[in-house]
């Protein structure tokens, strides 16, 4: 597969930087709100992995779909979901993406093709394959991107999804965000047999690799893969190596992790990498700072708005509840 992507324009990369800043600010604010008792449940921060969602989703349009996992805030923002509505959802307030009833791990916006995050590993992938099957059966032109982590590579439903997608030549791009961790364990210590990419290749699905901490590289590789899926080439697989800055969830202080490893991954910051790329092409520090400040103001406003928003009507607890098939159990 040859890359049709030449070096991107600086304005395009400034747009990618803005999205990454928005994700970073959202995640840090969400973690702070959790520790302050403003958010209940759990928050799994995407901090450090922003380049993957940003570099992939920049090639998607309104007719394309994304499925996510428990660390899904970044995918939603990159697909265009309102950070203000997402923050309301985390705070459990009216106007949230799921009416304030879903919380961090169930952010979805079907109007924008965001099929939802998912707390069950790797059920977002099986949902994505189902959506891709629907697109094919309805002869619609969109594609589906399924984001998942390397921990999912040891789950059986994932292999069923690979097999089904390949068998029916479905329009789906599998994106494995490999941060090396499965909750509190190094993934390599709980994995038998060959690593992730060799397992996927066994299904006959083409595999591409990229340094997921460099958004320009992700953008370039994803451009080719998205084009291939759109052309009818069938499923593609992107293995993006990246780093998780925080623990499995915001309450996890990572006592199991070498502090030097945490410091190392912070030195390979995807945002700093994008800023260096832009600075080398003449973008001045003031313009870079303005992009960061705009994201900070946007997320600060989202937090204030969420904190002030009303709670849902208790009666709404009885709406949006699935009752299809319930008669069979009575």
Tens-digit pLDDT profile for residues 260-305: 999 999 999 999 999 999 999 999 999 999 999 999 999 999 999 9
> What are phi and psi for residue 144, nearest 5 degrees?
-125, 135
Number of neighbours of residue 223 by Cβ within 10 angstroms? 18
- Predicted confidence band of residue 1 (pLDDT cuts 50, 70, 90): very low
Give pLDDT, residue 164.
Answer: 98
Distance from C-alpha of 131 to C-alpha of 172, rounded to nearest angstrom: 9
**Alpha-carbon span 53 to 70, nearest angstrom:** 14
CA distance 146 to 65: 9
326 has a pLDDT exceeding 90: no
User: Which pLDDT band holds residue 118 (cuts at 50, 70, 90)?
Assistant: confident
List pLDDT tens digits, range 71-92: 999 999 999 999 999 999 999 9
What is the pLDDT at residue 194?
Answer: 82
CB 169 within 8 A of CB 238: no
Average pLDDT score, the chain:
94
Q: What is the pLDDT of residues 239-254, one digit of tens each?
A: 999 999 999 999 999 9
- Would the pLDDT of 151 be above 60? yes
Token pair in block for residue 45: 């921060």
Residue 320 pairs in a beta bridge with none
Q: Structure pTM?
A: 0.95
> Which pLDDT value is given to residue 4?
47
pLDDT in tens, 18-38: 999 999 999 999 999 999 999
Extract the runs of DSSP E, i.e. beta strands, from 99-191: 114-116, 144-149, 172-178, 181-182, 185-186
Report DSSP letters for 271-284, one per residue: HHHHHHHHHTTT--
Contact 82, 305 (CB under 8 A): no
Q: What is the mean pLDDT of residues 151-169?
A: 96
pLDDT in the model for residue 2: 43
How confident is the model over 293-324, as pLDDT tens digits? 999 999 999 999 999 999 999 988 888 877 77
Angle at 107 between CA 48 and CA 65, to 5 degrees: 85
Distance between alpha carbon 281 and the CA centroid of its chain, in Å? Answer: 28
Residue 122, preceding peptide bond in cis (omega within 30° of 0): yes
Cα dist from 159 to 148, 151, 164, 196, 312, whole Å: 13, 13, 9, 11, 39
Rounded-to-integer distance, Cα 107 and Cα 104, Å:
6
Helix (H) or strand (E) holding 82: none
Name the pLDDT band for 328 (thresholds 50, 70, 90).
low
Q: Cα–Cα distance between 151 and 186 in angstroms, integer? A: 9
Query: For 244, what's the count of Cα atoms within 13 Å in the CB-facing half-sphere?
Result: 26
Check residue 315 and report its DSSP letter: G
């Amino acid at each position: 597969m040859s890359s049709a992507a030449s070096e991107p324009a600086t304005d395009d990369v400034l747009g990618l930087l803005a999205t990454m800043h928005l994700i970073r600010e959202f995640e840090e604010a969400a973690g702070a709100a959790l520790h302050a008792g403003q958010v209940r449940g759990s928050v799994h921060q995407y901090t450090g992995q922003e380049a993957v969602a940003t570099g992939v989703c920049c090639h998607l349009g309104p007719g394309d779909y994304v499925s996510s996992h428990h660390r899904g805030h970044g995918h939603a923002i990159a697909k265009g979901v309102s950070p203000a509505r997402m923050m309301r959802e985390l705070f459990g307030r009216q106007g949230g993406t799921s009416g304030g009833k879903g919380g961090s791990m169930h952010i979805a916006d079907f109007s924008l093709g965001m099929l939802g995050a998912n707390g069950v590993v790797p059920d977002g992938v099986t949902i994505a394959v189902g959506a891709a099957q629907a697109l094919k059966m309805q002869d619609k032109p969109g594609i589906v991107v399924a984001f998942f982590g390397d921990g999912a590579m040891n789950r059986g439903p994932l292999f069923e999804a690979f097999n089904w997608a390949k068998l029916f030549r479905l329009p789906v791009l599998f994106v494995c965000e490999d941060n090396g961790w499965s909750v509190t364990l190094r993934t390599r210590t709980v994995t038998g047999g060959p690593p992730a990419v060799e397992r996927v290749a066994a299904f006959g699905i083409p595999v591409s690799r990229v340094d997921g901490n460099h958004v320009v590289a992700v953008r370039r590789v994803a451009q080719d893969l998205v084009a291939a899926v759109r052309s009818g080439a069938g499923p593609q697989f992107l293995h993006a190596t990246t780093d998780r800055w925080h623990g499995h969830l915001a309450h996890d202080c990572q006592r199991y992790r070498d502090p030097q490893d945490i410091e190392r991954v912070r030195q390979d910051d995807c945002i700093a990498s994008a800023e260096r790329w832009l600075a080398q092409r003449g973008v001045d520090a003031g313009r870079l700072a303005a992009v960061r400040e705009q994201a900070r103001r946007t997320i600060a406003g989202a937090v204030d708005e969420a904190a002030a928003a009303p709670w849902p009507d208790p009666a709404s607890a009885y709406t949006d509840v699935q009752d299809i098939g319930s008669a069979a159990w009575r």
